[in-house]
Structure 1
Amino acid sequence: MKIGILLVGRATDDLVEKYGTYAEMLISLINSKEEVFEFKTFNILDSVLPKNHLECDGWIVTGSPHGVYEEHSWIPTVSELINDIYHASLPIFGVCFGHQLIAPAGLAAMLRNPLRAGVWVCIPMKLIIRQTIWVICQKS
């Protein structure tokens, strides 16, 4: 299975030196015992994008120091790609910032938590079995 990693953030130099990029950290974590998956990293910040959402069998969107509601030229492009991935029913996983970008594709909204500074809350628009699911992510 080929996993595409949408690298949407840069780790600090000291983290990269010790652990690698966000993509390398994820690959190391997922393939820690044996190489189960093939990975291809797309460095979005350097305008390296997949041809389309079908280029890989599954997707990971990394964390980022950026905010999902900040105005960056690449966010709408990545959001459209995520929407295509979601609606094609391909597996997709987001880490912190990544899950905040994925939320709108699944009909959810990301809102700042007024009770805790720096914390975002993912609120699904659709209730499943009378439950509201809250996903909390510490914003970098």
Structure 2
Amino acid sequence: MKTTYRSRVAGYELDSNGHVNNAVYLNYLEAARWEGFYQIGAMELLKELDISPIITETQIKYMKELLMFDDFEIITEWASTGVFILNKHKIKDKEGKIVAKAESKLLLVSKERVIYDIPEELGEKLNRKETL
């Protein structure tokens, strides 16, 4: 499954060089993930099961800077394997040039810190070959 999140760089997200601070990309990826869960219709299921996604690792490769008021989009490719949800993100500027690539691994966890298997319904959605 692929989902898309769009946003614009805000002034408070910049570093001393006038570029988006590297740590801000983690916030962008988090926003893209939540929007993706919403787009695929997973929010009700997560709420019903009282589980939440948590990040176990993220790797980002920065390729080009984003500047104040730049519009960008994050295309997230979703998949699942075992207990993990996998995200491959491409952050693109308004011209479609890749600004950064990232990969993340997530688990579904209860408030009691119990790791859950990915519900079959969610796994099927994540592994579909379609774009929303």
Structure 2 length normalisation: TM-score?
0.27
Higher RCO by CA contacts (8 Å cutoff, separation 6 or greater): 2
Q: Give the helix-richer structure, 1 or 2.
A: 1
TM-score, normalised with respect to structure 1: 0.26
